[in-house]
A and B are shown apart, each in its own frame.
Chain A
Amino acid sequence: DAGITQSPRHKVTETGTPVTLRCHQTENHRYMYWYRQDPGHGLRLIHYSYGVKDTDKGEVSDGYSVSRSKTEDFLLTLESATSSQTSVYFCAISEGGLYEKLFFGSGTQLSVL
């Protein structure tokens, strides 16, 4: 168990509202990631972080922003949610460093109506 907690576990929101998802880790790992999982697309990387205030875009970053002000927290924000952002969102960390195994949180089911 890599000590990853995602919150909330489930959220229903309306189109156009801002939404923030939180990923919290307890073990001070440097690398943290946000993925989304959709049927037929598998998991796709949204954003990742390689340290406090160090973030970069992934494959599907449009419409998302992230922040990492503390090692333990990585926030994903949908500035103005759209129905296409209905998905399951997973946070992950690399134990030990780059190129190491990824460990995933339990996910957040987000529905945008």
Chain B
Amino acid sequence: KQEVTQIPAALSVPEGENLVLNCSFTDSAIYNLQWFRQDPGKGLTSLLLIQSSQREQTSGRLNASLDKSSGRSTLYIAASQPGDSATYLCAPTPGLTGGGNKLTFGTGTQLKVEL
């Protein structure tokens, strides 16, 4: 069974810092991995999807990397802003799902960016 760990569980940084969120997973037989953000009381918003054949995926100030063989992904946020404050979750997709996209979610990193 896939297990996903996100470290740290919470992080507080001053505005403008570059930061790295970590995600590790136990089963490396994944098809892809997604990063999401969740604002309080809201649903999840997809940020990046990185295929197992890729090493990096970028969107604006966000960069996700994937090292499938070691079971790790990182989300890099450049020049953090207060609006980046949210919980960030990673979710690897297993390689064989038999008809559905059975993601396993980590419990997230709660990020607070302070002025």
Q: Closest CB of chain B to A88's CB: distance in Å?
A: 9
Given contacts A40-B107, A42-B107, A99-B31, contact A105 B43 (CB under 8 A): yes
- List the B side residues contacting A48 at CB < 8 Å: 99-102
Interface residues in A47-63 by Cβ distance below 8 A to B read: 48, 50, 54, 56, 58-59
**Contact at B89–A58, with CB atoms within 8 Å?**
no
Q: How many A-B residue pairs have CB under 8 A?
A: 68
Interface size on B, residues (CB 8 A): 26
Q: Which of B14-22, B44-52, B68-76 contacts A (4 or more CB under 8 A)?
A: B44-52
B contacts, CB < 8 Å to A: 4, 31-32, 34, 36, 41-46, 49, 89, 91, 93, 97-103, 105-108
A48 to B101, CA, bound (A): 8
Task: Report A81-105 residues with CB < 8 Å from chain B CB.
Answer: 90, 92, 94, 98-105
Please provide the 5 A-B residue pairs with the shortest distance between their CB atoms, ordered closest to farther. A104-B43, A48-B100, A43-B105, A42-B107, A42-B105
Set B41, B45, B98, B100: member contacting A33, Cβ < 8 A: B100
Cα-based distance from A54 to B100 in the complex (angstroms): 11
B59 shortest CB reach to chain A, Å: 12
> What is the distance, in angstroms, from B22's C-beta to the closest C-beta of chain A?
15
Which of chain A's residues have a CB closer than 8 A to the CB of B42?
106-107
Q: Are A50 and B100 in contact (CB under 8 A)?
A: yes
